[in-house]
Amino acid sequence: MQVAIPIFPRFTALDAVGPYEVIQRLPDVEPVFVAEQRGEVRTENGFLGMVADATFAEVPAPDVVIVPGGFGSRALLEENPLLAWLRAVHPGTRYTTSVCTGALLLAAAGLLDGLTATTHWGAVDVLQELGAVPVHQRVVEHLDRRIITAAGVSSGIDMAIRLVALLEDDLAARATQVFIEYDPEPPFDAGHPSKVGDDVMARVAEYRNARR
């Protein structure tokens, strides 16, 4: 089972690596990082290079697609090879999924028209402009359409465990969860803007502008 993870300049590393780490535990899964060209792709703020091992042309029929987001997704909303590849491969996938602003790319490819979907809290407006119906939910599944979207960054871990349950069974999903010891204990209850005050959001804006 081939699981393709497309990457692009300024993607968010954890969007891709969270689901990757879950799904690569399945012995019959072959994950592949794919991009317009083979080679190094730098993540969001340039501090980390990850390697694409295949071009889009070399991965014409993946069984599963997981699209990460990142600041760089905003530069890919007009026609480009990634969107063309998403449109071309989606009819043959078992599941086409996104994490964070990866949903914007699914939407820009026309795969979310009129569908409820989720994304990073900071991208809800753009998701709507692109034709989807944003909902505040950690994971949104349209199993009849074989489309799953996950919220911001870390939500890809939750999504991927659910994906394993769909691809294999609950036992497999629980096994991957034990394997990565996903027994979260966030030190704060601060995982969404609805849970924090203006002081925290001011700090978020400050950090965001510093590294946009």
DSSP 75: G
Q: Which is nearer to its own copies, 53 or 113 (CB)?
A: 53
Cβ atoms of residues 152 and 121 within 8 Å: yes
The minimum distance between CB 57 and its own copies, in angstroms, equals 20
The verdict on 143 binding its own copies (CB under 8 A) reads: no
Q: Which is nearer to its own copies, 41 or 83 (CB)?
A: 41
How far is residue 18's CA from residue 41's CA, in Å, rounded to a whole number? Answer: 17
Q: Could you tell me which stretch among 57-65, 85-93, 126-134, 189-197 binds its own copies (CB under 8 A)?
A: 189-197
State which of positions 95-124 bind its own copies (CB under 8 A).
100, 120-121
The verdict on 91 binding its own copies (CB under 8 A) reads: no
The verdict on 187 binding its own copies (CB under 8 A) reads: yes
Q: Site map for its own copies, 41-70, x if CB under 8 A?
A: ---xx-xxxxx-x-----------------
User: Cα-flanking dihedrals φ and ψ of residue 119, to 5°?
Assistant: -160, 180
How far is residue 164's CA from residue 156's CA, in Å, rounded to a whole number? Answer: 12
CA distances from 29 to 4, 19, 22, 76, 170 (A): 10, 12, 11, 28, 17
Catalytic residue among 3, 100, 105, 108: 100
Active site residue 100: yes
Q: Which is nearer to its own copies, 3 or 83 (CB)?
A: 3
Structural tokens at position 150: 């996950």
Residues 11, 205, 126, 156, CA torsion sign: positive
Interacting residue with its own copies among 57, 75, 84, 178 (CB under 8 A): 178
The verdict on 10 binding its own copies (CB under 8 A) reads: no
Cβ atoms of residues 95 and 64 within 8 Å: yes
The verdict on 27 binding its own copies (CB under 8 A) reads: yes
How far is residue 209's CA from residue 121's CA, in Å, rounded to a whole number? Answer: 16
Q: Which is nearer to its own copies, 83 or 139 (CB)?
A: 139
Active-site positions read 100
